[in-house]
Every structure is written in structure tokens, then in C-alpha cells.
Structure 1
Amino acid sequence: MANVTAAMVKQLREMTDSPMMECKKALVEADGDIEKAVDVLRKMGVAKAVKRAGRDTNEGTIATHISEDGKVGAILELTCETDFVGTNPKFTDFAAELAKVVAQNDPADVEALKACAMGDATVADELTEMIHVIGENMKIARFRRVSVEDGALSSYVHLGGKLADLAWFSLTKAETAQSDAFKVFAHDVAMQVAAAAPVAARREDVPAETVEHEKSIYMAQAAESGKPAFIQEKMAVGKLEKFYKEIVLTEQEFIKDSSMTIADYAAKVGKELGDTVKVEGFVRFAFGE
């Protein structure tokens, strides 16, 4: 009987996208012949993923996970073939579990994530198993992990997983993160990110080229007025201020109460809790972007 090596198992796994133990069994049965082992897997019904690997995955979901202490979060997009599967609880729960693996392991990329442990197997094994069970091709499209030292995160998932985000905040008191007032505020801000689609959390985070591009347009518009140069400058600056209020999260009007901005809301909650609460950043995924 041929000696089945780890390298052979790895090669068969890469060829068929099948679970490691099944690959080993197939190689033993095929006496070490890779091509025969592929046939063994196909007969076992395990190598179905080979045929599915080329199918388009234009549906799916976005999932988030935040650690119990609120300091580590992850957001992940998992794709599939049909909307029916994309809303299947088995599929969406799997996406949430993948987001948890990202939060706990901080993988560098999708391949590194696939190599992470998930239960008694790896993410790659579990993904292949899910493909077999559900009967559709699936892919991990992208993910992002965020961690904070002196602060907390919040998340919001909208449109049945087609839009989701993470928002993070800085605090000076650890107990603030556990307060109801902060939790409501953090959830509201995460909801604002989903609904209002800001470009940056703070004015200083807006890319310089974006600001210059907008200002050049406003200056050109002001020049059409025929007014003196210093008036044109004021007109352009005025429009730029309006632009900031539209795209900067902290300067946007709060969607639930237009009498205050998100920065005002943060100050209000901070005062109530005797803390300094600041919005530091966010990451927003719209499915298929």
C-alpha cells in the first residue's frame, strides 16, 4: 500500500476543495493515486465543490461580530449563488461564525482566514462542507477587523444583511461602554453610518484630494458670478462647509433628531455619563461593492 503523505492530502484538497479527512480516506482507497482519489471523492459525493467552484456568486450576506468587552469587532461579506440561500439562516449563521473567527484570529487575508481553526477543522474545511450541505458555491469576498484599546465598538446590519457597518468610539472610563446610554448612542451612530453613507468620521479624515477637487469646482462656480476674488473665496468656502456637513459623520445631522449633529450627540452622552465620548471611525460594507 502506498504511503499517503501530508503533501498528497494537501494537493488533493486544493484540487477538489474537499475536507482533509475525506481526502486522506480517498487516497488510501486509491492506493496513493491522485487521479483515482478524485474519482473516489466524486463517488462519495464529496467532490461536488469542484463543479460548483466556477459558478457565479452574486448573492449573499454581510455579517458582523463584536467581542463581549466591545473592544474587538469584525465585518465579513460571504457570497453565494441565489438569494434563497443568501437569506437561509444556516448560511447567515455561518457568515456570523466566520466574522467571529476573524475577530478572534486577525487573519491577514482570505487565504489566512481559510487556514484558521474553526471548531475541530479549519475555515476552508467548514466552507467546503457548507458548499456540500447547501449545494451552492460560496466565497469569502472580504472582511475587516477593528480593535480599540480605550473605547468600544458597535455594529448595525440592515436590509437583511445587504448593508452593514462597524463604528468605533474612544472613551476615558471603561465603565462607560457598559452603560445603557452609551449603548443606545453607539447603536444610533452605527445606524447613521448605514443610512447616511458618510465618507469619513471626522473632517481631518477626508482625503486631501477629495477636498481639493470639491474646492476647485466651487471656485470655478464662484468665478462665474463675476464677483471680487475675496467674495469668490468666501462663496467656495461656504459650499465646502456644506459639503463637510453632508459627508462627515460627526458633522451630519442626526437622522433621529435634526436639531443636533452626531458630534453634539456624542457631547450630550459624554456629559450625561461624566466622560469624553468621541466617534473615531467606521467601516461600511454594501453588498457587492
Structure 2
Amino acid sequence: MAVSAKEVKALRDITGAGPLDCKKALEQHDGDLEAAAAFLREKALKDGIKLQGKGRSANEGVIGNYLHFDNRLAVIVEVNCETDFVAATDRFKAFAKDIAMHIANMSPKYVKREDVPGDIVEAESRIHLERALDEGKPEHIAEKIVAGRLNKWYEEIVLMEQAFIKDDDKTISQYLQETVAEVGETIHIGRFQRFAIGDGK
């Protein structure tokens, strides 16, 4: 079917994908905007995972930052990419800004699950195991309950596993993969620091 420039623009506004990809997606889905958008998001996620899997070094980047309007809360975060060209793009800088704003709002403690110290994980596991056993659950059931509760706990403290503050249908990890697919380079979220008045007391 013929696809109009207006339809292509509408899909680009929703997904941020290139015009050719938008045109093809609309043609494949008979002009259905929602279906085409879902297809492009899935494609971006897959392409992003492929790029991240190549293990290319990411030594360029920017320091994303966020300062709350009352000057009582601020975040800085290191976001890396492969080239200074991508680091200078509005898309990459917007991603870094989004991550800083998300950290300000959601207060993660670690970037990824592997960053959580083992002794902290063990202590949290013991708490949930004792609670499950106190509830009268058999040990083999209690262990499954612990695994589920730990996953919920990781979602609270690990940045990559949190629901994105601007779109809670995706995690930060998924948002990163989509951005990787858009810019065509590996992206890493590095160190971050969140400062709030009163936290240092």
C-alpha cells in the first residue's frame, strides 16, 4: 500500500526511527501506526542487543547532569560511547540527561546487578528466607519466594532494572538498548552520584 509522508513523519515522531525504516514498517503493517511502532521498537531492541554484544570499547562520552529547580537535589552520571561524534549528538546528550533525571527521581544505588556486593545480597536473602519460613512456607517453596523477592529488591536499587521514569513500560536497560540501536554505537552507563540536601548528615 502507498504510505504518505505525513504517516512516515507520525511514526518517526513516535519511534525516532529513520524515514526509510518507518516507510517500510508502515508498508509491512498496512499503514497500522501502532503495529508499525511496536515492530520498530522490537527491531531497535534486537539491534541494540547485537551492538552491545560486540564488546567494542566505549571511551568517549559525556557527563549527564540534573539539578532540581530548588537547588536541593543534583545528579551527575558518566555515560560512555565509542566516538566523540556520537557524544556530541543531541540524541546521546538527551539520553545522558534522561538517565541523570531518572537517578534523581528513583535513587538507585548501583548501575547493574553485578555491582551489588555479595555480602549485601546474602544479608537480604537471609532476611527474606527467615520471613518466608516464619510464614510457615516449606523450605523449597521459601527458596522460590526469596528469589522472587530478591528480583523485586533489585528493581528498587539497580538502575538498569528499574522502570524508566518517563516510560514505565520499559526498563532503563531496554531504553539503553533502543538508544544503542539509534546511534549505532555501544553505550555504557558508568559512575553516578546523587546529591540531596540532608543526605550527608
TM-score (norm. length: structure 2): 0.66
Cα drift, residue 204 of structure 1: 1.6
Question: What letter is aligned with 1:165?
Answer: V
| Structure 1 portions without partners, runs of 5+ | 1-147
Q: Does 1:193 align with 2:103?
A: yes
Which has the higher mean CA deviation after the structures are superposed, 203-212 or 272-281?
Answer: 203-212
Q: Does 1:228 align with 2:138?
A: yes
Whole-Å separation in 2 of the counterparts to 1:200 and 1:191: 15
Q: Does 1:260 align with 2:165?
A: no
Kindly indicate whether the alpha-carbon contact (under 8 Å) linking 2:78 and 2:191 is maintained by their aligned counterparts in 1.
yes
Whole-Å separation in 1 of the counterparts to 2:118 and 2:68: 30
Cα drift, residue 207 of structure 1: 2.7
Question: What letter is aligned with 1:184?
Answer: A
Kindly indicate whether the alpha-carbon contact (under 8 Å) linking 2:129 and 2:143 is maintained by their aligned counterparts in 1.
yes
The answer for the alignment partner of 1:22 in structure 2 is none
Kindly indicate whether the alpha-carbon contact (under 8 Å) linking 1:202 and 1:280 is maintained by their aligned counterparts in 2.
no
Greater relative contact order (Cα 8 A, min sep 6): structure 1 or 2?
2
Kindly indicate whether the alpha-carbon contact (under 8 Å) linking 1:223 and 1:232 is maintained by their aligned counterparts in 2.
yes
Whole-Å separation in 2 of the counterparts to 1:227 and 1:196: 32
Whole-Å separation in 1 of the counterparts to 2:191 and 2:148: 25
Cα drift, residue 278 of structure 1: 2.0
Kindly indicate whether the alpha-carbon contact (under 8 Å) linking 2:76 and 2:192 is maintained by their aligned counterparts in 1.
yes
SS of residue in 1 equivalent to 2:66: strand
> What is the CA RMSD across the aligned residues, in angstroms?
1.6
Q: How does 1:143-154 map to 2 (within 5 A)?
A: 149-154=59-64
Question: What letter is aligned with 2:75?
Answer: D
Question: What letter is aligned with 2:169?
Answer: S
Whole-Å separation in 1 of the counterparts to 2:132 and 2:60: 44
Q: How does 1:243-258 map to 2 (within 5 A)?
A: 243-258=153-168
Cα drift, residue 161 of structure 1: 1.6
Whole-Å separation in 1 of the counterparts to 2:196 and 2:147: 31
User: How many residues are paired up?
Assistant: 142
Q: Does 1:167 align with 2:70?
A: no
Cα drift, residue 159 of structure 1: 4.0
Q: How does 1:77-92 map to 2 (within 5 A)?
A: none
Spell out, residue by residue over 1:69-110, the C-alpha distance to the aligned partner (whole angstroms, 9 max, x if none). Answer: xxxxxxxxxxxxxxxxxxxxxxxxxxxxxxxxxxxxxxxxxx
Kindly indicate whether the alpha-carbon contact (under 8 Å) linking 1:254 and 1:262 is maintained by their aligned counterparts in 2.
yes
1:203 to 103, 108, 113: 113
Larger relative helix fraction = 2
Kindly indicate whether the alpha-carbon contact (under 8 Å) linking 2:63 and 2:78 is maintained by their aligned counterparts in 1.
yes
Whole-Å separation in 2 of the counterparts to 1:207 and 1:162: 29
| Structure 2 portions without partners, runs of 5+ | 1-57
Q: How does 1:5-154 map to 2 (within 5 A)?
A: 149-154=59-64
Larger relative strand fraction = 1
SS of residue in 1 equivalent to 2:70: helix
Kindly indicate whether the alpha-carbon contact (under 8 Å) linking 1:171 and 1:277 is maintained by their aligned counterparts in 2.
yes
SS of residue in 2 equivalent to 1:161: coil
SS of residue in 2 equivalent to 1:165: strand
Kindly indicate whether the alpha-carbon contact (under 8 Å) linking 2:62 and 2:93 is maintained by their aligned counterparts in 1.
no
Whole-Å separation in 2 of the counterparts to 1:207 and 1:285: 22
Whole-Å separation in 2 of the counterparts to 1:234 and 1:172: 40
The answer for the alignment partner of 2:68 in structure 1 is 158
Which has the higher mean CA deviation after the structures are superposed, 260-269 or 219-228?
Answer: 219-228
